[in-house]
Chain A
Amino acid sequence: MYKTPSQRILLQGNEAIVHGALAAGCRFFAGYPITPASEISEMLSVELPRVNGTFIQMEDEIAGIGAAIGASLTGVKSMTASSGPGFSLMQENIGFACAAEVPVVIVNVMRGGPSTGLPTSPAQGDVQQARWGTHGDHPVIVLATSTVEDCFTVTVKAFNLSEKYRVPVILLSDEVVSHTREAVQLPAMDEIRIIDRITPSVPPEWYKPYENNNRGVPAMSAMGSGYRHHVTGLVHDERGYPTQNPLEIEMFIRRLHSKVTKGFGDIQVTTPLMMEGAEVAVIAYGSVARSARRAVIEARKQGVRAGLLQLTTLFPFPRRAVDKVMRHCKTLIVPEMNMGQISREVQRVNHHGCRVIKHNRVDGNFITPAEILKHLITA
């Protein structure tokens, strides 16, 4: 069975994502080649059969996520991985996973966009798409990785959240994080907390596949386990059958959203750095968070009361953590490799009149610590 490497090992970000997936119990992957995510497919094609799992390269990304959702319905933890163009193709089926409440992890290694964009350059331009890419009112969880070690732990978290809330989880990496190699010591298997979906505890005759229970998350039976029921993307009642009854429709849409809202404390993952006594804060995520760490450390050395709030969870937007920062930091700097996709979220929850400075780099190049430090000093 799968075990994390016992020694420190040189790993690429994408490889760490694979280790995270295997450690979390992922035993099915279906995808399609695309730069800069192909290494995930390649490594899983070797590792999954070794642990009795299944890898398949499908004919396109739509088929990739379709197969991953299908596998998940049989009780197997599943994943797919792509970049911008493939992520765009997957949106309809992501919506299906939202509506049918099928756990699945979708890795998007962001590259320059829009369209074919910059296949080998980093960007963070898919953030809002990850939240709203599929049509209709839907909940989704979006996480971002910023280091190779992160690629492991956040992938495990992605699977755990997907299983617990029966919601697709989008893991946003970027070309820099995914292609960086670092020496990491991965935790041993007994140190890793794994969460599995809750399966029915009542006999099949009593089972309601989409029950509005107190957690808001129905128990999920595996196909073939004796709990025959209907799974559909149409709005459905508690039994899974399509409905046009306004009361049933409303209950469904609201429960879909409230199950995630109820889990906010669990889902919101942020990491403060040097926030004690900070007056100016950087809010950063993904690979940019690393540059932000260096900038904040340097700024403090120069006497600037700077701090960093690193976002691992992007959606649901960690407004509680950001609100806490806004109470004592009246200037916020939001560096991103896009035109301001998280800064608009920060502005949305800005009830304290804080000054939000955007630092948007969209030239296919990485944001350096010096760029962020400049803002911290002049703020």
Chain B
Amino acid sequence: MPEAAATLRHEFLRHDKKFPHVWCPGCGNGIVMGSLLRAISGLGLEKDEIVLAAGIGCSGRLPTYVDFNTLHTTHGRSLTFATGIKLADPSLTVISVMGDGDSTAIGGNHFIHAARRNLDLTALIINNSIYGMTGGQYSPTTPFGSRSTTSVHGHIEQAFSIAELAVTAGAAYVARSTVYHAELLDKLIAGAIRKKGFAVVEVISNCHVQYGRRNKLGGAVEMIRSYKQNSIRVEKAASMKAEELEGKITIGVLADRELPVSTEEYEKVRQRARETK
């Protein structure tokens, strides 16, 4: 509904920030931002109790536009700042938005440890398979054979599967969507924020300007249409063979488990410490 969207914009976008935003026309980041705001609005959280941290990149520019406690950190390190924030003040809802390079290249180590630690944080990873802000260099999720400014003759490395990486690293909640499946994304982000523990939502997004253009994938419309055509629900994919899933994007909740949450465990440590001399 247009009124609902206008209300959302009025409530959550900063009134004193210099718009227009820096993103290209058709960038999927806008859909992710809308989804995040719809999820937060639906959960009825207070703006004051939300911290939105980000790293560096196009995804890193998201927090500056929204009216929460926002933090734009160094490249790859937003989860480490988020860890300090959450431990020092567990009453805050801490969300970290990152790109594929920010979270799995320079931030890879922090990503797997944050997952292992199971701190009550939400990681929202916008995966557009490229370093967009810096002009189109390859990232850990750029597919084999792709063209980028640093792989003009075709990329020779394999790509990470971010959600699967999060599952293996021990995250309590792991989900994936694409920017085509915006309604699903709203639900997954809400589920991730509600989840007590480390929650990861990976969003496949389009960078048609840096990645799509160089790989003849079309513009925003063509790329988003391809997400619609190539996505398969996790439940359906479970009964399919590996060859059938080649090149497909599995969407939905990949993992949702109960594990001890560090902030709660640490309270027990404090109790034990106070009891000892």
Q: CB within 8 Å of B: which residues of A?
A: 27-28, 30, 46, 49-50, 52, 54, 56, 58-60, 62-64, 66-76, 78, 92-93, 96, 222-226, 228-234, 239, 241-242
Contact = CB atoms under 8 A, between A and B. Distances in A.
Contacts of B80: 58, 62-64, 66-67, 70
Contacts of A28: 84, 87-88
Chain A, interface SS category: mixed
B63 A224 contact: no
Contact of B48 (A52, A60, A224): A224
A231 B70 CA distance: 6
A62 B72 CA distance: 16
A76 to B, nearest CB: 4
Contacts of A76: 88-89
Contact of A60 (B85, B91, B109): B109
Given A54-B88, A232-B64, 16 more contacts: A28-B87, A28-B88, A46-B273, A59-B110, A59-B113, A66-B77, A70-B53, A70-B80, A73-B84, A74-B89, A75-B89, A96-B74, A228-B48, A230-B72, A231-B71, A241-B17
What are the 10 closest A-B residue pairs judged by CB atoms, nearest first? A70-B84, A66-B80, A67-B84, A71-B88, A70-B81, A49-B273, A232-B72, A71-B84, A63-B80, A74-B89
A92 B74 contact: yes
A69 B81 contact: yes
Contacts, number: 133
Contacts of A93: 74, 77
B74 A233 contact: yes
Contacts of B182: none
A224 B91 contact: yes
A225 B51 CA distance: 12
Nearest to B273: A49
Given A49-B266, A241-B18, A58 B83 contact: yes
5 contacts: A28-B87, A54-B266, A66-B73, A67-B81, A74-B85
Contact of B73 (A71, A74, A233, A242): A233
Contacts of B53: 70
B109 A50 contact: no
A125 B218 CA distance: 55
Most interface-central of A30, A49, A96, A241 (chain B CB within 10 A): A49
B82 interface: yes
B84 A30 contact: yes
Nearest to B53: A70
A30 B86 CA distance: 13
Nearest to A234: B72
A92 B75 CA distance: 10
B72 A70 contact: no
A223 B49 CA distance: 8
Interface of B: 14, 16-18, 47-49, 51, 53, 63-64, 67-74, 77, 80-85, 87-89, 91-92, 109-110, 113, 266, 269-270, 272-274
A70 B82 contact: yes
A241 B64 contact: yes
Contacts of A64: 80
A223 B92 contact: yes
A327 to B, nearest CB: 45
Contacts of B71: 70, 73, 230-232
Nearest to A58: B80
A132 B69 CA distance: 30
B47 A74 contact: no
B109 A224 contact: no
A96 B71 CA distance: 11
Contacts of A30: 83-84
A74 B273 CA distance: 23
Contact of A71 (B87, B109, B110, B113): B87
A229 B69 contact: yes
A69 B69 CA distance: 15
Contacts of B88: 27-28, 54, 70-71, 74-76, 78
A71 B81 CA distance: 7
B12 to A, nearest CB: 11
A70 B81 CA distance: 4
Given A78-B84, A230-B63, A59 B109 contact: yes
Contacts of B81: 66-67, 69-70, 73
B273 A50 contact: yes
Contact of B113 (A46, A63, A226): A63
Contacts of A239: 16
B87 A67 contact: yes
B200 to A, nearest CB: 17
A81 to B, nearest CB: 15
A52 B87 contact: no
Contacts of A92: 74
B230 to A, nearest CB: 35
A81 B270 CA distance: 22
B85 A223 contact: yes
A228 B70 CA distance: 7
Contacts of B110: 59, 63, 66
A233 B87 contact: no
A239 B71 CA distance: 13
B274 A70 contact: no
Contacts of A232: 64, 71-72
Nearest to B262: A56
A55 to B, nearest CB: 9
Nearest to B67: A228
A50 B274 contact: yes
A230 B73 CA distance: 11
